Copies of this chain bind each other. A is one copy, B any other.
Amino acid sequence: MTTRETQPLETSDADSLPTHGYITDKDRYLSRLKRIEGQARGVARMVDEEQYCIDILTQISALTAALRGVALGLLDDHMKHCVLEAAQLSPEAGQAKIQEASDAIARFMRS
């Protein structure tokens, strides 16, 4: 857990950041994650009711795919905002943000 996605850049406008962060789509992400949470609860209920194992696996596959969709969306947003801004600040800042993103991609692929 490090810092927030964006740091105030000498701005007096409290609403300025949301206009160019991944925050724009926040509601959409939240509703997707709400659905994912419901899917997880659904899987637990299926296990509790001892439903057919293959059906449970199918639900877990759907849940995993939904999570990957969220991860890819967040990563894309992150690169288009945070990485891009860092790259425009300086090559070093850009490199550091890209390294961080690469590491996250590798971690995700191995998960």
Contacts and interface: CB of A to CB of B under 8 A. Distances in A.
Contact of A40 (B22, B40, B77): B40
On chain A, which size bracket covers the interface? 35 or more
A53 B84 CA distance: 14
Contacts of A44: 30, 33-34, 37
A102 B87 contact: no
> Looking at chain A's contact residues, is the secondary structure mostly helix, strand, loop, or mixed?
helix
A3 interface: yes
Interface string A14-40: 000100011100100110011011001
Contact of A104 (B34, B57, B67, B101): B57
A101 to B, nearest CB: 7
Contacts of A88: 87-88, 91, 94
A91 to B, nearest CB: 6
Given A61-B108, A68-B109, A47 B29 contact: yes
A91 B32 CA distance: 29
Given A5-B52, A44-B33, A50-B4, A57 B84 contact: no
